[in-house]
Amino acid sequence: MKYKIALLPGDGVGEEVIQQAKKCLEAVEEVFHHEFIFQIGVIGAKAINTYETALPKDTLRICKNSDAILVGTIGNHKFNNNPVAEVRPEHGLIQLRKELGLYANIRPLRIFPSLVDKSPLKADIIKGTDMLIFRELSSGIYYQNKEDATKAQSASDVCKYTEEEISRIAHLAFKAAKNRNNRVTLIDKANVLNSSKLWRKVVRDIAQSYPDVALEYQFVDHAAMKMIAAPNRYDVVLTENMFGDILADESSMISGAVNTLPSASVGEKQALFQPVHGPYTELKDKDLVNPVATILATAMLLEHFRLFEEAMAVREAVDKSIAKGIVTKDLDANSQYGTNHVGDFIANHILGHDDRINMNNENIDLGKSTII
């Protein structure tokens, strides 16, 4: 099959991680006889520098004209200390979500058995954790009725939701739960916020159509504690935009391996995939950044194309690299492997060409370099 994939490397280490992900997609292309047509677009700080906007028209056009979008990382700390900057790198992403109607952000949290000791939590607390967060992405406080802080003495952001906005993501969450462990936890602040009361009403009604799925409610402050105390009790988590932003980052710490976590942002027509981690500007061009989160984002992208066998090949290759200790220094301080080598290992594994890079299993098991 033929697919058009937009690649938006963005800022910082984005270019490097996208290159590794592209290598893996090319390996999938070869093994499974597909044709991937890549189109590159600029976004974020890099776009601001040249076009004075974080989302140039050309980039939006490329995205609209593609079957899926793969984003690297966006942001630059030089914008962080200016709260009234008119353009900011991350506005590119916020605008893209709106323009493309990407209303659901989906973040899986999975613990790699060999990385259990990376977690700041005890092994028996995180044991069995397998969570899927559905965060509403195109409405709520991020988008509704904003009063500009640059022009007045006061400022406001309004959190408003419609039934339709809640129901479309709720259905996605319940459908996902049906294929997993049949549990949805709706996280809100319904003891205080009217928008949360609407979430409860709409989600409770939708739950009637999914009799096999148990629905529970949690207030967001309580959930923030529970997620750390007992992360393995969650299956599918459903929440609004800002609570989701915060809880998704909290959950990413549970694994202790944030650089292995991907995310998907989906709408009716388009879908965008990216790593959860930030631009790590200080690591740029040093061959140090971990490419795994972006490579796993491509596995989610392939699943979106319903290429399940292909996605599995990518996941198996990543599992193998982690199990064999072919990882970057963030996962093993003694590792001698860089971004490129990890990407090559994973791509070669997909190609079934493990021998070509002179892998010696005995050395790999000992954690020694296998490059001859």
Radius of gyration of the chain (CA): 21
- Tell me how far, at minimum, the Cβ of 245 lies from Mg ion, in Å: 4
Q: In this complex, which beta carbon is closest to ligand IPM, that of residue 15 or of residue 245? A: 245
Residue 19 and residue 339: Cα distance in Å, rounded?
Answer: 10
Structure tokens at 16: 């490097």
Query: Closest CB to Mg ion among 8 and 276?
Result: 276
Of 29, 99, 245, 354, which lies in the binding site for Mg ion, with binding defined by CB under 5 A?
245
Catalytic: 245?
Answer: yes
The residue within the footprint of ligand IPM, chosen from 31, 85, 94, 125 (CB under 6 A), is: 94
Given 90, 188, 235, 344, the residue binding ligand IPM (CB under 6 A): 90
Q: What is the DSSP letter of 148?
A: P
Residue nearest to ligand IPM (CB): 90
Give the CA distances from residue 319 to residues 107, 263, 350, in Å, rounded to whole numbers and listed in that order.
18, 18, 11
Strand, helix or coil for residue 188: strand
Length of the chain: 372
Query: 87 is in the binding site of which of Mg ion, ligand IPM, none (Cβ under 5 to 8 A by kind)?
Result: none
271 in contact with ligand IPM (CB under 6 A): no
Of the candidates 249, 269, 286, 365, the residue annotated as catalytic is 249
Angle at 336 between CA 333 and CA 342, to 5 degrees: 100
Q: Which residue has the tokens 């066998």?
A: 309
Point out which span in 20-28, 88-96, 113-121, 328-336 binds ligand IPM (CB under 6 A). Answer: 88-96
The yes-or-no answer on residue 221 being catalytic is yes
In the beta sheet, which residues pair with residue 271?
A: 266
Helix (H, G, I), strand (E, B), or coil: what is residue 218? strand
Task: Please tell me which residue in 3, 189, 235, 344 is annotated as part of the active site.
Answer: 189
C-alpha separations of 312 from 95, 269, 306 in Å? 32, 24, 11
Q: How far is the CB of 193 from ligand IPM (least distance, A)?
A: 19
Q: Which is closer to ligand IPM, CB of 245 or CB of 303? A: 245
Q: How far is the CB of 212 from ligand IPM (least distance, A)?
A: 31
Q: Which one, 213 or 248, has the nearer CB to ligand IPM?
A: 248
Which residues are bridge partners to 144 per DSSP?
Answer: 158
> Of Mg ion, ligand IPM, none, which one does residue 99 interact with (CB within 5 to 8 Å by kind)?
none
Instruction: Say which residues have a Cβ less than 8 Å from residue 89's Cβ, sequence separation at least 6.
Output: 10, 11, 43, 44, 45, 47, 48, 54, 74, 75, 76, 79
CA proximity to 349, closest of 372, 330, 323, 329: 323
Of residues 265 and 298, the one with the C-beta less far from ligand IPM: 265
When the beta carbons of 38 and 143 are compared against ligand IPM, the nearer one is: 143
How is 251-269 classified by DSSP, letter by letter? HHHHHS-GGG-EEEEE-SS
List, in sequence order, every residue forming a beta bridge with 287; answer none if it has no partner. none
For residue 94, the partner it binds in Mg ion, ligand IPM, none, with Cβ less than 5 to 8 A by kind, is ligand IPM
What DSSP character marks residue 35? E
What binding mask, one character per residue, do residues 204-243 give for Mg ion by CB under 5 A, x or -?
Answer: ----------------------------------------
User: Which of these segments, 90-98, 191-199, 283-291, 358-366, binds ligand IPM (CB under 6 A)?
Assistant: 90-98
Q: Which does 93 bind (CB under 5 to 8 A by kind): ligand IPM, Mg ion, none?
A: ligand IPM
Q: Count other Cβ atoms within 10 Å, centred on residue 278.
A: 16
| Interface of this chain with ligand IPM, residues 229 to 248, rule: CB under 6 A | 245
Number of residues that bind ligand IPM (CB under 6 A): 4
With contact defined as beta carbons under 8 Å apart, do 156 and 172 qualify? Answer: no
| Binding residue for ligand IPM, selected from 27, 93, 132, 292, defined by CB under 6 A | 93
Interface residues toward ligand IPM, by CB under 6 A: 90, 93-94, 245
Interface residues toward Mg ion, by CB under 5 A: 245
Question: Which residues are part of the catalytic machinery?
Answer: 142, 189, 221, 245, 249
